[in-house]
Amino acid sequence: MTGHDKLRGKGAVVTGAGQGIGRALATRLAAEGARVVVNDLDADNAAAVAAEIGGTAVPGDCASEEGVRHLVDAATEALGRIDVYCANAGIDGGPLGTGDSLLDTSDEAWSRIIETNVMAHVRAARALVPGWLETGGGRFVVTASAAGLLTMIGSAPYSVTKHGSVAFAEWLSVTYGHRGVAVQAICPQGVQTRMLEDSGPLQALLSHDVALAPEAVADAWVASLADDRFLVLPHPEVAGYYAVRAQDTDRWLAGMRKLQGRLDDARAQA
Ligand SMILES: NC(=O)c1ccc[n+]([C@@H]2O[C@H](COP(=O)([O-])OP(=O)(O)OC[C@H]3O[C@@H](n4cnc5c(N)ncnc54)[C@H](O)[C@@H]3O)[C@@H](O)[C@H]2O)c1
C-alpha cells in the first residue's frame, strides 16, 4: 500500500492549519483525496485554508479540554469519522536569541507552552483512541521538532515540551500501535514559517542554507506512510544527527556541542 492509499477518502483533522506546516499538511491531505477539517486559533486563516482546499474550518483552541472536545465533536460531525488526526499546532517560548530562556521564562509562559505542545496531544488522544480501538483504528500524527530529539536546539520550554511530544507519541505507539493505532512524530528542523521568522538569531542560523519549505515537510510525511515510519525526519541533517545519537553517544554529544557553538555565535551576533 502506498502512502496515498492510506489517505484517500479518509477524514482528517489538522490543528494549527491556518498557516505554515499545518497548512501544508492540510493541503497535501486534500490533494491525496482526504476530507479535511482545518483548525486554527486564527479563524480567518482557518476559513481561508478550508476554502482553498475544499475542507471544513473548525476554528478554536485545540489545546484546552473544552477546545479539544469541541474540535473532535465538530470534526466528527463534518467527516463522519476522524481517521487521521494531525496534532500540529505548537508554540515557541518567544524569541530564542533574547535573554536566557531558563531565567526569563515565567511559570505562566511555561504552562502555556506545555498546554499547547504536550497537553493538546494528550487530550486529543484521550478523546480519539477509545473509539479507534473499537472501530478499526486510526492515525495520530504529532508535529514535534528536531528540538524534541536534539537537546540543544531551541529554548528551554520549547526543547522540553518537544521532547515531551516525541515521548508521548512513542508511548502511544508502543501502547496502542499493535491495536491499530498508527502513531508518527514529524521532527523537522528549520521550516520557512512565521514561527521561524519570529525566532530571531535561530532564523539567521538556519534559514539561509538549510530551512525547508513547509511543503517539503508534507512530502516527507506522505513518503513515510509507505512503510509507516514512526519518526519522520524531513531534514537530512536531523536524520544524520539522530542516527549518530542512536548509535554513537560520544559523536552525538560532540555534534550537539558544535551546534550549541553555532547557536551561541548567532546569539552573540544578534
Ligand atoms: N517552523 C519550524 O522551523 C518548525 C520546526 C520544527 C517543528 N515545528 C513545529 O511545527 C508546528 C507548526 O509550526 P509552524 O512553523 O507552522 O508555526 P506557525 O506559527 O507558522 O503556525 C502555527 C499555527 O498554529 C496555530 N495555533 C497555535 N496554538 C494553537 C492552539 N492552541 N489551537 C489552535 N491553533 C493554534 C497558530 O495560530 C498558527 O496558525 C509546531 O508544532 C512547531 O513547533 C516548526
CATH number of the domain within which 134 lies? 3.40.50.720
Residue 25 resides in a domain: yes
Rounded to two decimals, the ipTM of the complex is 0.99
Residue 253 resides in a domain: no
Q: Looking at 4-18, 191-205, 237-251, which range is the least confident one?
A: 191-205
Domain count, the chain: 1
Q: Is the pLDDT of residue 95 over 60?
A: no
Please say whether the beta carbons of 141 and 186 come within 8 A: yes
Report the mean per-residue pLDDT for the chain.
90
How would residue 202 be classed by pLDDT, with cut points 50, 70 and 90?
A: low
Residue 267 resides in a domain: no
Q: Is the pLDDT of residue 97 over 50?
A: no
> Is the distance from the beta carbon of residue 128 to the nearest atom of ligand 1 less than 6 Å?
no
Q: Give residue 99's domain range.
A: 4-235
Instruction: Return d(Cα 72, Cα 140) in angstroms, integer.
Output: 13
The residue with greater pLDDT, 265 or 51, is 51
For residue 205, the model assigns a pLDDT of 61
How many whole angstroms from 245 Cα to the centroid of ligand 1? 26
Residue 159 resides in a domain: yes
Per-residue DSSP letters for 133-183? HHTT-EEEEEE--GGGTSTTSS-HHHHHHHHHHHHHHHHHHHHHGGGTEEE
Give first-to-last CA distance, the chain, whole Å: 48
Q: Looking at 199-203, 223-227, 260-264, which range is the least confident one?
A: 199-203
Residue 254 resides in a domain: no
242 is catalytic: no
Residue 246 resides in a domain: no
The C-alpha cell that represents 23 in the structure block: 497548512
DSSP state letter for 187: -
Residue 244 resides in a domain: no
For residue 98, the model assigns a pLDDT of 52
Residue type, 135: T
Per-residue DSSP letters for 204-248? HHHTTTTPBPHHHHHHHHHHHTTTT-SEE--SHHHHHHHHHHHH-
Structure confidence by residue, pLDDT tens digits, 130-188:
999 999 999 999 999 998 998 767 788 998 999 999 999 999 998 999 999 999 999 99
Q: Is the pLDDT of residue 201 over 70?
A: no
How many whole angstroms from 26 Cα to the centroid of ligand 1? 13
Task: Check 158, 176, 241, 242 and give the catalytic one.
Answer: 158
For residue 269, the model assigns a pLDDT of 77
> Is the distance from the beta carbon of residue 115 to the nearest atom of ligand 1 less than 6 Å?
no
Q: Looking at 36-50, 76-90, 138-152, 190-204, which range is the least confident one?
A: 190-204
For residue 14, the model assigns a pLDDT of 99
Residue 262 resides in a domain: no
Q: Beta-carbon neighbour count of residue 223 at 10 Å?
A: 14
> Is the distance from the beta carbon of residue 161 to the nearest atom of ligand 1 less than 6 Å?
no
